[in-house]
Amino acid sequence: MNNKKWTMSSLTRDDWDFSCYKKLPSSAISRIYLWEMDRDLGSGKGPFAKDPANKKWLASLSKEKTHTILPNAPVVSSSGTSHKTRGGDALAASGSNTLHVFQVNWNCSQAELVEAFSDWLEFGHGTPYVTFPTNTRGRPRQQYTMLEKLTIHRFHKVGYSGGPKFFRENKKDAFRRNLKRINWTLAQREMNLHFKHRTKELSRLSKAAGKNWKSLLY
């Protein structure tokens, strides 16, 4: 991984102020979180909201009353037949959603089915996407809080420890001032763990596809 090097001059407000996403649905914030994490791992992309395709997607979200995001993905059978949606349109990739076909043995108990699905999520599911981290600290465990912790990680990279100096310098900024409620040491440990897991996932993806994950996802 060619991790991004943050500096005081390169870390702009768009890189750390995620307040504009606070009222988005959890599924949307999960997508933004992965995009921003991958930036730290060297995707080469800019802030999420600056990307033209993402701008269009965010605009469509603002028009949605229920914020329902349908999972679309290419699905091809072993015979090479492409499946269609109900409307007759070909399924296409959309964000971090993928569509999977399962064969279920209904003779199994509910506990066995849940265990089997959990194993599938954890091992060898072969998709470039992982479920949102469940080993997060804090109450409530909200996706937006993880964006704030990503902000802490980036400020930490440019030399701030979260001590009095940081909050004294940024006391007039509501977003940065609110970071004081989060334990910066624990947040950094948690982010390091998430980066480690994401790095492994991207490495597996690159190895399976024979291509760099950047070209596959971005």
pLDDT for 165-178, tens place per residue?
899 999 899 999 99
Q: 8 versus 122: which is more confidently predicted?
A: 8
| Per-residue confidence band for 84, with pLDDT thresholds at 50, 70 and 90 | low
Q: 148 versus 164: which is more confidently predicted?
A: 148
Contacts of 19 (CB under 8 A, 6+ apart): 174, 175
pLDDT at 103: 80
Domain limits, the chain: 13-217
Q: Give the bridge partners for 84, in sequence order.
A: 90
Indicate whether 18 pLDDT > 60. Answer: yes
pLDDT at 72: 47
